[in-house]
Amino acid sequence: MTDLPPEPDSVPSALEVTDTSMRALLRQSDFLFFWTARFVATLAVQIQAVTIGWQVYTLARETGRDEGQGAFLLGMVGLAQFIPLFFLALTAGETADRHDRRTIMSAAIGVDILCAGGLGLLAWSGHTALWPIFAIAVLFGAGRAFLSPASSAMGPMLVPRPLLPRAIAWNSLSWQSASIIGPALGGLLCAVSPATAFATSAGLFLLGGLCLLGIRQSTRPVVQPGSRWTLIKEGLVYTWRNKIVFGSISLDLFAVLLGGATALLPVFARDVLHVGAEGFGILRAAPAIGATLVAIVLASHQIRRRAGLLMFGAVAVFGAATVVFGLSQWMWLSVAALAVLGGADMVSVYIRQTLVQLVTPDPMRGRVAAVSGLFISASNELGEFESGLAARFLGPVGAAVFGGVGALVVTGAWAKMFPELRKADRLA
């Protein structure tokens, strides 16, 4: 086993500390404001993304389209969000390494509030056309392209260096928890009405923007010399050459791209398990239950050794649980498989995000976070498109099983191709 390389002295600190306990972290008020803002904003993003999917699939079925056509349109929602992310991600990362990161976060949240308001009005008015929803989804993806790298890069700026590993760990846990709790909450709110879900999302975005106002410390990075293209190229080269970074984010890309069964939950709820909107909410809550239980364990018992092997094991469990979910014909087994899937995903993302943050110097965090965010978006939004396309030809059950088996194959291949990642030991 090999330990991670030490991080350069790049995190500014107003005071020298030796206490690295949770109590010391809680005394960092700027970090607490940021942590809350990022948590509620991520929660809002996930609620909104899930509700868009449910609304599109429901409208497709109610306007006479069959199950396969509805699944394909559901996948197109992911593609609509991914296109602006793909074209803007590298520019957004370079922007986060040149300009005030709090300002970028605030502007991105403002765009997301407008999107939530527009979607809420469409749902409340009973509008049945799909094209306005897809248009807003494109704008929503553009806002997320700038929100992700700015928020990922800003957190480490707000704590003293000795507290950095603990801050990164709690940042990772908060992001992953919100990413799984958000869809669950979105599914439950959809059972009330899509308009209620979009209104909740707008309120959470607003709360996140207000929390950012409480940050007093400077969040403007030390600008590196060179043109915009030079800085973007530098970030790409660093990501490619650092095998821990590239191996981590590419593993997540291909495993979730193939194993994204949660994108098909509206189809399973309505046409496979026949449990309706209420059942959809329960299915969406299941991964959150598993992730929350695992998060509690990780918060109290930090991973100290064999981090790389644990991450690969978690991705393998994720793939196996996806297969079980796809084959299940019973609601209770589907819920259990999704809970295991969520718990495994929590372990994987927690380790991956911590590894990437620890080995990346601060002046490059925005660009590396942008590349990581692009890979995450490809795995999620493009994964929705892949799942919808696969369901169009294989059916929802076949698509889920195909994806789970694919995730298992990717796990084995990446464990062999990236020995540095497999041998990563301590998260410190």
Q: Per-residue confidence at 204, pLDDT binned at 50, 70, 90?
A: very high
Average pLDDT over residues 144-169: 80
pLDDT at 8 (0 to 100): 40
pLDDT at 202 (0 to 100): 95
Average pLDDT over residues 360-382: 69
Average pLDDT over residues 229-251: 77
Q: Which domains does the chain have, with CATH numbers?
A: 24-216+224-422 (1.20.1250.20)
Q: Per-residue confidence at 381, pLDDT binned at 50, 70, 90?
A: low
Average pLDDT over residues 11-24: 56
**Distance of alpha carbon 137 from alpha carbon 201, whole angstroms:** 14
Average pLDDT over residues 348-354: 79
Helix, strand, or coil here: 85?
helix
Q: Per-residue confidence at 225, pLDDT binned at 50, 70, 90?
A: low
For residues 225-244, b (16+ Cβ closer than 10 Å) or e, as one string?
Answer: eeeeeebbebbbebbeebeb
Average pLDDT over residues 243-251: 79
Give first-to-last CA distance, the chain, whole Å. Answer: 14
pLDDT at 19 (0 to 100): 62
Q: Is residue 11 pLDDT above 50, yes or no?
A: no
Q: Is residue 415 pLDDT above 80, yes or no?
A: yes
pLDDT at 71 (0 to 100): 76
Residues above pLDDT 70, as percent of the chain: 86
Residues above pLDDT 90, as percent of the chain: 18
pLDDT at 1 (0 to 100): 41
Comparison of pLDDT for 323 and 223, the residue scoring more: 323
For residues 308-338, b (16+ Cβ closer than 10 Å) or e, as one string?
Answer: bbbbbbbbbbbbbbbbbbbebeebeebbbbb
Average pLDDT over residues 283-311: 78
Q: Per-residue confidence at 425, pLDDT binned at 50, 70, 90?
A: low
Ramachandran angles phi, psi of 2, nearest 5°: -125, 145
pLDDT at 5 (0 to 100): 42
Burial class from Cβ neighbours inside 10 Å (0-12, 13-18, 19+) for residue 24 reads middle
Q: Is residue 426 pLDDT above 90, yes or no?
A: no
Average pLDDT over residues 307-326: 89
pTM here is: 0.67
Average pLDDT over residues 139-152: 87
Burial class from Cβ neighbours inside 10 Å (0-12, 13-18, 19+) for residue 205 reads buried
Q: Is residue 222 pLDDT above 90, yes or no?
A: no
Q: Which residues contact 318 (CB under 8 A, 6 or more apart)?
A: 255, 259, 341, 344, 345, 348, 407
23-27: Cβ within 8 A, 24+ apart: 24/163, 25/159, 25/163, 25/166, 25/167, 25/170
Residue corresponding to tokens 């191709």: 417
HSE-CB for 271 with a 13 A CA cutoff? 16
pLDDT at 4 (0 to 100): 44
- Kindly state the tokens that stand for 218: 């400077």
Comparison of pLDDT for 144 and 358, the residue scoring more: 144
Q: Is residue 308 pLDDT above 90, yes or no?
A: no
- Kindly state the tokens that stand for 291: 């992730």
pLDDT at 213 (0 to 100): 92
Q: For the chain, give the mean pLDDT.
A: 80
pLDDT at 273 (0 to 100): 86
